């Protein structure tokens, strides 16, 4: 049996004044009904036990409410009923996640909309135990429509207030592009990953430029960790013999997890992590610096801004310099294929390898890229799906909930490993 305090409301199942007793099996069934969107069963349970069963005080063993389950799975009628009838709120569970966090993580736009419009305690910047607010999760997931809803919520106004009143809360960085736009760093959080017996520290940042709320113009891809980058890091650990003592470059590095692992765990002689010079590149540099190892003999790691479309600006010491080049989820537009092919050919040594992890779903241009690599002299070996152990929780804390929040796409996307080897001249 489980008992939950009430605020004097009349409902069935009351064992004493102010307390409702709900059998555990019926409570478990109620949460399952909320999870699967069974509105009639949810309504029947509320009629039997009163509004308290669907309210903020009724939790499972992990601190989740019925609203958590309905929101995560996109069941708008159940969400609306729990809010309107039971007074459900966006309260935190045992990991600090609210129903809004879960709805954003699962890209439930309609639920995000109703939560922001109908729940008076919503704070889109409220951070969970992993240091992420709903806005940051939306940035990382690249869901522009969801992010727009969040940025239009009154609680998001604190971003602009902080930007003008307290730079330490929301930092301003120059875009680094052709314009003069400033980019707000909304939130920062550092994750600690444990590979073998050594820890690496990778920072993510949530970014918003001044026109983001109006235009959905988000700069986020290089500021967030992606599932493909974790798979690439794990693949490199399994291929140490190809990396130890070699020169390695990571293209489109973003948070630079694979490049950092090449330096810290794979004993590469030289690692260069590269990305477009933008508001996200300072985070790339940060992650390189905090993970730099002092070794004897010395091993080099550096971050370089490289624009694939401006070959005339590439440093001379990267041309033909690398035994291994790596990348993850770089081909998302067929128009990028010639530019990616050009930078790989310019940087790789004869006989060198390009290790690439792709999310197979919705990757425009991937078949063209593979065919183009073959045409210019690369052999290709593809593995799909990757080994299951590559998907294991890599957080030092071992917190599965936190891991799923960072790498939610590992459960929803399909991935492939591509090993390209250039023929020796």
DSSP 237-277: HHTHHHHTTSEEEESS-TT-HHHHHHHHTS--SEEEEEE-S
pLDDT tens over the chain, length 425 residues: 343 433 333 333 333 334 468 899 999 999 999 999 999 999 999 999 999 999 999 999 999 999 999 999 999 999 999 999 999 999 999 989 999 999 998 889 999 999 999 998 899 989 888 778 888 788 766 677 888 899 889 888 766 554 344 333 334 444 444 444 445 555 678 899 999 989 999 998 765 544 443 333 334 456 788 899 999 999 999 999 999 999 999 999 999 999 999 999 999 999 999 998 877 888 999 999 999 998 777 899 999 999 998 898 999 999 999 999 999 999 877 888 999 999 999 999 999 999 999 986 556 788 999 999 999 999 999 999 999 999 999 999 998 888 887 887 888 788 999 999 999 87
Residue 205 β-bridge partners: 188
Considering the domain architecture, whether residues 200 and 316 belong to the same structural domain is answered as: no
Domain co-membership, 79 together with 175: no
The half-sphere exposure of 162 on its side-chain side, counting CA atoms within 13 A, is: 16
What's 22's domain CATH number?
1.25.40.20
Return the bridge partners of 189, or none.
204
In a domain, 243, yes or no: yes
How many CB atoms are located within 10 Å of the residue 210 CB?
A: 16
pTM: 0.65
CA-nearest of 42, 8, 1, 41 to 22 is 1
Does residue 35 lie within any of the structural domains? yes
Domain containing residue 417: CATH number: 3.40.50.150
Q: Which residues pair with 357 in a beta bridge?
A: 328, 417
Residues 308 and 412 placed together within one structural domain of the fold: yes
Q: How many domains does the chain have?
A: 3
- Where a domain ends, among 176, 194, 215? 215
Residues 268 and 182 in one domain: no
Same structural domain, 210 and 241: no
Burial class (CB in 10 A: 0-12, 13-18, 19+), 105: buried
| Whole-angstrom Cα Rg for the chain | 24
182 lies in the same domain as 278: no
In this structure, the answer to whether residues 302 and 375 fall within a common structural domain is yes
Alpha carbon separation from 375 to 341, 354, 369, 371, 380 (Å, rounded): 11, 15, 10, 6, 11
Range of the domain at 56: 2-122
Residues 6+ apart with CB under 8 A from 292: 263, 301
136 to 123, 183, 311: CA distances (angstroms): 12, 14, 34
Helix (H) or strand (E) holding 305: strand 300-305
């Amino acid at each position: 049996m489980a008992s939950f305090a009430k605020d004097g409301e009349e409902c069935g199942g009351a064992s004493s004044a102010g307390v409702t007793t709900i059998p555990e099996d019926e409570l478990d069934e109620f949460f399952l009904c909320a999870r699967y969107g069974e509105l009639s069963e949810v309504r029947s349970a509320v009629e039997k036990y009163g509004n308290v069963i669907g309210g903020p005080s009724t939790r499972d063993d992990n601190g989740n409410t019925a609203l958590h389950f309905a929101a995560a799975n996109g069941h708008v009628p159940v969400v609306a009923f729990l809010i309107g009838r039971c007074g459900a709120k966006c309260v935190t569970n045992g990991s600090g996640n609210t129903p809004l966090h879960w709805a954003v993580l699962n890209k439930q736009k309609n639920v995000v909309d109703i939560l922001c419009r109908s729940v008076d305690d919503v704070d889109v910047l409220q951070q969970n135990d992993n240091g992420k607010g709903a806005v940051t999760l939306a940035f990382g997931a690249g869901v522009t429509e969801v992010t727009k809803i969040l940025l239009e919520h009154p609680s998001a106004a604190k971003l602009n207030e902080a930007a003008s009143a307290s730079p330490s809360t929301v930092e301003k960085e120059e875009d680094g592009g052709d314009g003069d736009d400033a980019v707000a760093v909304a939130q920062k959080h550092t994750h600690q990953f444990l590979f073998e017996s050594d820890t690496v520290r990778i920072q993510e940042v949530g970014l918003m430029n001044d026109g983001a709320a109006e235009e959905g113009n988000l700069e986020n891809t290089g500021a967030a960790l992606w599932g493909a980058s974790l798979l690439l890091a794990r693949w490199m650990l399994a291929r140490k013999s190809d990396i130890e003592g070699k020169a390695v470059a990571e293209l489109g590095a973003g948070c630079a997890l694979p490049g950092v692992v090449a330096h810290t765990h794979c004993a590469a002689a030289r690692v260069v992590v590269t990305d477009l010079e933008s508001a996200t590149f300072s985070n790339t540099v940060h992650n390189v610096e905090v993970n730099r190892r002092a070794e004897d003999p010395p091993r080099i790691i550096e971050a370089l801004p490289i624009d694939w479309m401006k070959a005339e600006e590439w440093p001379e010491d990267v041309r033909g310099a690398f035994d291994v080049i790596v990348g993850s989820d770089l081909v998302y537009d067929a128009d990028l294929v010639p530019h990616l092919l050009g930078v790989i050919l310019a940087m790789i040594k004869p006989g060198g390898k390009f290790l690439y992890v792709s999310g197979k779903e919705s990757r425009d241009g991937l078949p063209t890229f593979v065919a183009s690599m073959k045409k210019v002299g690369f052999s290709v070996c593809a593995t799909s799906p990757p080994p299951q152990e590559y998907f294991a929780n890599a957080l030092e804390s071992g917190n599965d909930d936190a891991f799923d929040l960072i790498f939610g796409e590992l459960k929803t996307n399909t991935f492939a490993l591509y090993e390209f080897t250039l023929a020796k001249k």
